């Protein structure tokens, strides 16, 4: 039988790309994508029955409560989904490779260009629950944590990525305010999916950072997207994080990715480089964000 991999959060942005790209990057694996409709991951007994039934050889855990506002509004639910569920799945997968998708939000954003050895200091509930989950996962030397920051791409529901959020807001005729002093290192979901599949094959567990080589402000990201997303024209507004109202947001979550880069068969691109390498003749923005290197 082909080795079987479970992907949780298969209806989420990265989960969808992992399932979609598996025939290309993991052709010898039997993929079982699990959505919230398929399995309530907080139902421990049902989860245990499912693991016993599927008998996975590897697990990629993408499911999470990832909206920072939702986490701030219901910290108990955030901890249950992000931390407790992850710890339970890691325990069920203790004898097999387990890859957990975490977040750069475990850092406070005061410096930027964070490496794996830098000390986490989350400033919001989402980051805190992700850090708690990491600590549970890394108790097992066979398991892996991958911290990511900002993912571009398209989802079946049209509301999973920052690009989709910007597009929907602009298409509704509303302005999109982007901070010029908040920095990230975005990557398309197709690139992230390829990295994860290569990491599964390498069987090199541990803690890794994964981001694009470009450190861009939110404002610079919006400007970069303009030629490919004309709906944004006339709707981009430059703002400052100093005026932010709402959930705490780290100012600079740029990541150093040398460790994971050393394992890969291809070079992780920057976001600008990625878009510049796409041919405008072929398709629109959404197709650019769908592919892999």
Q: Model confidence over 159-190: pLDDT tens digits? A: 677 888 888 899 999 999 999 999 999 999 99
Predicted pLDDT of residue 292: 47
* Helix residue ranges, H only, 226-283: 258-261, 271-276
* 3 state SS of 243: helix
All residues at 6 or more sequence positions from 74 whose CB lies less than 8 Å from its CB, including other chains: none
Predicted pLDDT of residue 18: 96
* 3 state SS of 217: strand
Predicted pLDDT of residue 88: 98
Predicted pLDDT of residue 278: 61
**CA dist., res. 91 & res. 83, Å (int):** 12
CA 99, chain centre distance (Å): 12
**CA dist., res. 152 & res. 278, Å (int):** 15
Distances (CA, A) of 149 to 22, 92, 127, 162, 255: 22, 27, 11, 11, 8
Tokens 């079982």 belong to residue: 32
Which contiguous run of DSSP H or E holds residue 277? none
CA 166, chain centre distance (Å): 17
**Domains in the chain, please, with CATH?**
4-290 (3.40.50.720)
**CA dist., res. 99 & res. 9, Å (int):** 13
Please say whether the dihedral angle defined by the alpha carbons of residues 236, 227, 169 and 11, taken in this order, is positive or negative: negative
All residues at 6 or more sequence positions from 90 whose CB lies less than 8 Å from its CB, including other chains: 61, 98, 100, 136, 137, 139, 140, 143
Whether the CB-CB separation of 215 and 272 falls below 8 Å is answered with no
Q: Which residues of the chain have pLDDT under 50?
A: 279-293
pTM for this model (two decimals):
0.92
HEC per residue, 50-98: HHHHHCCCEEEECCCCCCHHHHHHCHHHHHHHHHHHHHHHHHHCCCCCE
């Amino acid at each position: 039988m082909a080795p079987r991999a479970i992907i949780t959060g298969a209806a989420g942005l990265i989960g969808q790309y992992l399932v979609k790209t598996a025939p290309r990057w993991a052709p010898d694996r039997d993929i079982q994508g699990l959505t919230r409709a398929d399995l309530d991951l907080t139902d421990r007994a049902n989860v245990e029955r499912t693991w016993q039934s599927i008998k996975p050889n590897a697990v990629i855990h993408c499911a999470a409560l990832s909206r920072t506002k939702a986490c701030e509004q219901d910290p108990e639910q955030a901890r249950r989904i992000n931390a407790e569920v992850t710890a339970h799945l890691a325990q069920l997968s203790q004898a097999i490779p387990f890859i957990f998708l975490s977040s750069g939000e475990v850092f406070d954003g005061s410096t930027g260009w964070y490496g794996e050895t830098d000390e986490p200091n989350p400033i919001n509930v989402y980051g805190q629950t992700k850090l708690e989950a990491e600590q549970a996962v890394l108790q097992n030397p066979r398991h892996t944590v991958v911290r990511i920051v900002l993912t571009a791409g398209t989802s079946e529901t049209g509301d999973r990525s920052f690009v989709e959020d910007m597009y929907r807001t602009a298409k509704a005729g509303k302005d999109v305010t982007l901070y010029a002093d908040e920095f990230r290192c975005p990557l398309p979901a197709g690139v992230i999916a390829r990295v994860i599949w290569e990491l599964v094959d390498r069987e090199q567990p541990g803690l890794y950072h994964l981001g694009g080589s470009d450190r861009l402000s939110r404002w610079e990201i919006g400007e970069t997207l303009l030629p490919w997303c004309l709906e944004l024209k006339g709707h981009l507004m430059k703002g400052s994080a100093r005026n932010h109202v709402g959930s705490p947001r780290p100012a600079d979550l740029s990541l150093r990715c040398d460790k994971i880069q050393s394992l890969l068969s291809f070079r992780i691109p920057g976001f600008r480089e990625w878009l510049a390498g796409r041919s405008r003749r072929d398709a629109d923005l959404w197709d650019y964000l769908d592919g892999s290197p």
